[in-house]
Amino acid sequence: MKLQDSVIAITGGGQGLGRAMSEYLAAKGARVALIDLAQDKLDESAEACRAAGSEAKTYVCNVAKEEDVERTFQAIIADFGQLNGLINNAGILRDGLMVKFKDGKLDKRMELSQWQSVIDVNLTGVFLCGREAATRMIENGDQGAIINIASISRAGNMGQSNYSAAKAGVSALVPVWAKELARYGIRCMGIAPGFIETEMTASMKPEALEKMTAGIPLKRMGKPEEIASAAAFIFENDYVSGRMIEVDGALRL
């Protein structure tokens, strides 16, 4: 697929990896539909995409809410007249051990709300946006690709029952959607980033960040552009589908 003049929707497009991917694709001529929770962040990101040389429109939407997602994808088709791709990137962290005992006594557990909030955004949100994007693309006769952003944590990371489960889930959806949507000319791929320099990782404790970087064979965190170039490759190569690309500096959990 040619990125020039294609229309790509990016969830969580207001900051971090979502913004980096939006700017990168805009610089390659893609028209971008940026989806996020807050208008101010969206406005900044859209401005950066326009400066990179393309058209950008913004949509305030909670990806975990079915009515928001339906309204957003209808609006994208109405605004752009086509849709050629989606990057399911919006995600949150609510880390904690499933159970923690101190001196033989129960200290903390992962609350059901902590579990559910991550499943709602990182897994259900991906399902809702994927379903809606595919529906509108097929209805409109548009071909293209859906990319699910997973994580190295999909292999199972301590303190991340909720996040690891959601990321394993969105990775499992990749071959399912690749098989189901191939007949409509829609491919599906996943990207599993390692630790990348964004607001999400900046919120980690410095000691934890240092320890983590030391364990990466390439001895540094990844850059958002390195994830963005993997996304561009997926859109541009029409024979990749149903697989994960791991961009993690050779780190294995």
Ligand X SMILES: NC(=O)c1ccc[n+]([C@@H]2O[C@H](COP(=O)([O-])OP(=O)(O)OC[C@H]3O[C@@H](n4cnc5c(N)ncnc54)[C@H](O)[C@@H]3O)[C@@H](O)[C@H]2O)c1
DSSP-assigned letter for residue 221: P
Of 161 and 198, which CB lies nearer to ligand X in the complex structure? 198
**Is 14 among the residues that bind ligand X (CB under 6 A)?**
yes
**Is 241 among the residues that bind ligand X (CB under 6 A)?**
no
Of 172 and 200, which CB lies nearer to ligand X in the complex structure? 200
| The two three-digit tokens of residue 61, written as one number | 């939407």
Distances (CA, A) of 93 to 69, 117, 180, 225: 21, 9, 30, 21
The 3-state DSSP class for residue 149 equals: strand
Residue of the chain from 36, 132, 142, 246 that contacts ligand X (CB under 6 A): 36
**104 backbone φψ class: left, alpha, beta (φ>0; ψ -120 to 50):** left
Of 129 and 181, which CB lies nearer to ligand X in the complex structure? 129
Checking DSSP bridges between strand 186-193 and strand 99-102, what pairing results, if any?
A: unpaired
Q: Which residue is nearest to ligand X (CB)?
A: 16
| The two three-digit tokens of residue 16, written as one number | 């971090």
- Catalytic residue numbers read 163
Phi first, then psi, for residue 80 (nearest 5°) are -105, -20
Site for ligand X in 74-113 (CB under 6 A): 89-92
- State in angstroms the smallest separation of the CB of 217 from ligand X: 16
Q: Which residues bind ligand X (CB under 6 A)?
A: 11-12, 14-18, 36-37, 41, 61-64, 89-92, 121, 125, 149, 151, 193, 195-196, 198-201
